[in-house]
Structure 1
Amino acid sequence: MSSNSSPMIVTASIYALLVLIWATTPLAIVWSVEEVHPMWVLIIRYFGASLIALFLLKLMRDPLPLDETSLKSYVAGSLNLIGAQLFIYLAANYLTSGLMALIFGFSPLIAGLIGHVILKTQKLVALQWLGMAVAVAGLSYVFADSADSKINPIGIVLMLISMVSYISSIFWVKQINAPLSPMSQATGSLLVSALGSMLMLPFIWSHMPTEWPGMQTMIGFLFTMIMSSIVAMLCYFWLIRRLAASTVSLSNVMTPIIALVLGATLNHEHISAHAVAGIAVVMLGIVMYFWKDWQRQYFSKW
């Protein structure tokens, strides 16, 4: 094996790990809220993840700046965490893990739409508009199968709010442009999210867990706290510095498919033939949306 192939193997392994974590997270969330109130799960997750992040920050000898710009960036980043995740956990009571992943796969399309219409930072071509239309049509076809699937309009609305929070956080952090390392940014955002989650305590105090949950719930909880909050974050920032954005965006095609398979296999979530056809149309729309970037990166060299 040549020395040049080693970095490629490492990058491919980290990429595969990130996709697997992102695909498994919706199922882990569904499991984690089966026996514990979703908001208590969220609070404990962020306090636990904050402690782990602080330990890693000290281990890596990264600073945690507390100047005004950094604090603004932490708050902006927390909108991705406590903001987006809050609504995802609430949606877990209304949707299957596979459909949650499928809906969240629309986030790059919504981000492009916001960049084009509101921020004027991105110009969408005809194929991207067509891809959006095809993806929405496919998703509508999936929702038309609600008689046989666990699809609830409340869950759809909650996931859409989550997507807007996630996308807004990305734009906000980018606009602030604080000179922070990925680990410092993530740790600060986790701390703000943990503190912000305490505002929910008066409303959920009566639902405080009084006994240890079952093994499946614990597995889901620990996975989201360690893998989804820490490991995935480090993988993402590592990859985004080494790969083109269009390459990282490939995960938006793979993640929902893997999530649907995991939900059906491990959580016995029903996927009808009607829903599978709609999912295929959604994936086609996402591929059409990203085709221009992939063509420019991969095929222009041929």
Structure 2
Amino acid sequence: MDQRKPLDITAIGLMVVICTIWAMQQIGLKATESYASSVFQIGIRSGLAAACVYTLTAFRQKRPLLSGRTALLGGLAGLLFALEFLLIGKALEYSTASHVVVFLYTAPVFAALGLHLKLTTERLSALQWGGILVAVIGIAYAFLTPGPDQSGTPAAASMLLGDTLALLAAVLWGATTVLIRTTRLSELSATHVLFYQLAITAVVLIMIAALTGQAGIIPSAPLFWNLAFQSVIVAFASFLCWFWMLTRYKASQLGVFSFLTPLIGVILGYFLLGDALTTGFLTGAVGVLIGIIIVSASPWIERILHTNHTPKKDQEITT
């Protein structure tokens, strides 16, 4: 029997904090990219966070396996994770943090499509297909309606490339979710899966940064504090807190609240980085968020609709 409970005030407060932290990761990377490339920063933070996770598993005397089939699957999940963050790092070079965070969080749509094909228990309902259609229309609208002063300019082409990379990163995030859900990785503890993802990402991205001349660093206080925040707070503490909450609260309700992240990301990008927000992008972003919420919260929505349309026997008039 599922013992997970509905969200309470503690869970809601934690979700607001977690979503703000997740939104801040793109803001922090974009704000400090003049001191070190986003790709190199993500590699460093992943390595530091992987060390933190491994230390935690060693303290619990439950170290992750480093050989065998499970480790190979973990390595594959880590490779997908690494490629996802490589695309995120490159997307931030061409587009704004506000755009990247919105397109990145379309990942649940791609995960839902993949799980629909792989698991009979994850077949999409009519409501979910409707949500996917709304999200796709929102994505297309945001892509195809540049600002009035940007149409046909190099800036518009650069933004489009960055947005495309962010969307491809979302596809990889969805693929990672499908891999974890449909293999023996689903039987592992969250800390073990997180370790595989972080460790492989660190190795791959640091190597890519070194091979492409992106491994340079300009020492600065903003860069130091951002790396500390990204490593300890984002990649370690927030993910562990999220996994802990998944064991105690209903996943569908947590999923709905997680979409505060792109909303907060757009707001922070506007106020902290001065990101330009065109009417076309905002309109498309609203469609994307509505579609994603419909896809992720469909069981919850359908239950509410069913309850509201169930006739109540105690309202029958007897004579």
Structures share fold, TM-score greater than 0.5 = yes
Given residue 229 of structure 2, which amino acid in structure 1 is its aligned partner?
A: F
1:121 to partner: Cα distance: 5.2
Distance, in Å, in 2 between the alignment partners of 1:243 and 1:190 is 25
Superposition pairs for residues 165-176 of structure 1, below 5 Å? Answer: 165-176=172-183
- The 1:117–1:56 alpha-carbon spacing in structure 2 relative to 1, beyond 3 Å, is closer
Bigger radius of gyration among the two: 2
Given residue 145 of structure 1, which amino acid in structure 2 is its aligned partner?
A: T
Q: 1:277 aligns with which of 267, 274, 283?
A: 283
1:298 to partner: Cα distance: 5.3
> Which residue of 2 is the match for residue 208 of structure 1?
215
Instruction: Name the SS of the counterpart of 1:92 in structure 2.
Output: helix
> Which residue of 2 is the match for residue 35 of structure 1?
35
Distance, in Å, in 2 between the alignment partners of 1:37 and 1:234 is 26
> Which residue of 1 is the match for residue 82 of structure 2?
82
Q: 2:237 aligns with which of 226, 231, 234?
A: 231
> Which residue of 1 is the match for residue 312 of structure 2?
none
- The 1:201–1:241 alpha-carbon spacing in structure 2 relative to 1, beyond 3 Å, is same
Q: Is the Cα contact below 8 Å between 1:85 and 1:162 reproduced in 2?
A: yes
- The 1:166–1:277 alpha-carbon spacing in structure 2 relative to 1, beyond 3 Å, is closer
Distance, in Å, in 2 between the alignment partners of 1:228 and 1:165 is 19
- The 1:69–1:262 alpha-carbon spacing in structure 2 relative to 1, beyond 3 Å, is same
Which residues of structure 2 form unaligned runs of 5+?
A: 309-319
Superposition pairs for residues 114-263 of structure 1, below 5 Å? Answer: 114-117=114-117, 122-147=122-147, 152-178=159-185, 179-200=187-208, 202-204=210-212, 206-213=213-220, 215=222, 217-263=223-269
1:120 to partner: Cα distance: 5.4
- The 1:236–1:297 alpha-carbon spacing in structure 2 relative to 1, beyond 3 Å, is farther
RMSD: 2.8
CA deviation vs aligned residue, 1:202-253 (integer Å, no higher than 9, x gap): 523x4432530452x4443332222221112102211211222211221353
- The 1:141–1:252 alpha-carbon spacing in structure 2 relative to 1, beyond 3 Å, is farther
Q: Percent identity?
A: 21
1:294 to partner: Cα distance: 1.7
- The 1:9–1:62 alpha-carbon spacing in structure 2 relative to 1, beyond 3 Å, is farther
Which residues of structure 1 form unaligned runs of 5+?
A: none
- TM-score, structure 2 length as denominator? 0.80
- TM-score, structure 1 length as denominator? 0.85
